[in-house]
């Protein structure tokens, strides 16, 4: 009898637990602002590529979603502390992070872009033309790793903390070229008259994915299925084209 009661209790707990999980809205965290991925409109409304994608994803999953705003440095700790269930805030997949969180399939990847002064013309894919050039990157980014690994022994790599410092040195000819995250380059270099883009954007890294707690494998499956559908039925492209004039799809 006693055993039966315990078993019944367990089953009851499981059933209600599952039911609760279904009712509870899915909480998704963003670090705002990070234009054009997540930011607030002048009216204070949360919007951006990732926010719209999250909305479409929740609709596809048939679940109610709550959006939470969280500063970047507390992003993963907040997930662990159950302040939210998923992160959709341009978090790139890295080995280090994958040790702590569960990543979905990647849903976007921004390319790296080459930028230089208008007067510069060089074929960035031609190694002999690149020889001896001074290239600026942001320290520790995927762009830094790409240049160091592929061109490290033929160009001089200079590492910067901020894009502002890099622009100053490009302006005063201390740098011949910079290689930065494409949206950053668009904002810092293409908005100025004296800079231009060189060559084609380069696809880099493993991409950006939804991060969840390690044990939430069911949720990951659900999210992957929803993202897959959005990518195939054109919803993803519609949202992407609203924010970008190049493809970040993957």
CA atoms within 13 A on the CB side of 56: 24
CB of 155 to other proteins, least distance (A): 14
Cβ count near 102 (within 10 Å):
18
Whether the CB-CB separation of 105 and 206 falls below 8 Å is answered with no
Contact indicator for 188, 92 with CB cutoff of 8 Å: no
Q: Name the CA dihedral angle for 22, 24, 26, 30, rounded to a multiple of 10 degrees.
A: -170
Residue with tokens 């060189």: 198
CB of 109 to other proteins, least distance (A): 20
Q: Which is nearer to other proteins, 151 or 220 (CB)?
A: 151
| Minimum CB distance to other proteins smaller for 93 or for 227 | 93
CB of 137 to other proteins, least distance (A): 10
Which conformational region is residue 171 in: left (phi greater than 0), alpha (psi within -120 to 50 degrees), or beta?
Answer: alpha
Q: Can you tell me the distance from the alpha carbon of 195 to that of 173, in angstroms, rounded to the nearest whole number?
A: 12
Residue whose CB is less far from other proteins, 41 or 96: 96
CB of 49 to other proteins, least distance (A): 26
**Where does this chain bind other proteins (CB under 8 A)?**
96, 139-140, 144-145, 158-161, 165, 168-169, 171-174
Smallest gap from Cβ 161 to other proteins, in A, equals: 7
Q: Which is nearer to other proteins, 204 or 220 (CB)?
A: 204
Helices of type H across 131-192: 142-151, 163-171, 182-185
The least CB distance from residue 159 to other proteins, in Å, is: 6
Q: Closer to other proteins at the Cβ: 47 or 138?
A: 138
Shorter beta-carbon distance to other proteins: residue 126 or 171? 171
- Give the C-alpha separation, 29 to 213, whole Å: 13
């Amino acid at each position: 009898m006693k055993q039966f009661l315990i078993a019944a209790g367990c089953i009851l707990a499981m059933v209600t637990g599952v039911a609760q999980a279904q009712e509870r809205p899915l909480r998704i965290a963003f670090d705002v602002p990070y234009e054009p991925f997540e930011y607030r409109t002048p009216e204070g409304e949360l919007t951006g590529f990732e926010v719209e994608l999250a909305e479409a994803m929740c609709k596809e999953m048939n679940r109610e979603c709550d959006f939470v705003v969280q500063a970047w440095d507390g992003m993963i700790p907040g997930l662990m502390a159950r302040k939210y269930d998923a992160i959709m805030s341009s978090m790139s997949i890295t080995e280090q992070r994958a040790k702590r969180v569960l990543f979905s399939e990647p849903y976007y990847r921004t390319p790296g872009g080459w930028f230089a002064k208008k007067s510069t013309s060089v074929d960035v894919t031609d190694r002999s033309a690149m020889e001896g050039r001074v290239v600026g990157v942001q320290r520790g980014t995927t762009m830094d790793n790409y240049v160091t690994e592929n061109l490290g022994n033929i160009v001089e790599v200079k590492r910067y903390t901020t894009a502002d410092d890099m622009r100053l040195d490009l302006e005063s000819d201390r740098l011949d070229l910079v290689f930065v995250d494409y949206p950053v380059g668009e904002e810092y270099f293409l908005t100025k008259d004296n800079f231009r883009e060189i060559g084609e954007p380069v696809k880099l890294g493993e991409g950006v994915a939804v991060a969840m707690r390690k044990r939430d494998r069911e949720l990951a499956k659900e999210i992957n299925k929803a993202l897959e559908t959005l990518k195939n039925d054109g919803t993803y492209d519609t949202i992407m084209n609203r924010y970008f004039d190049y493809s970040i799809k993957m």
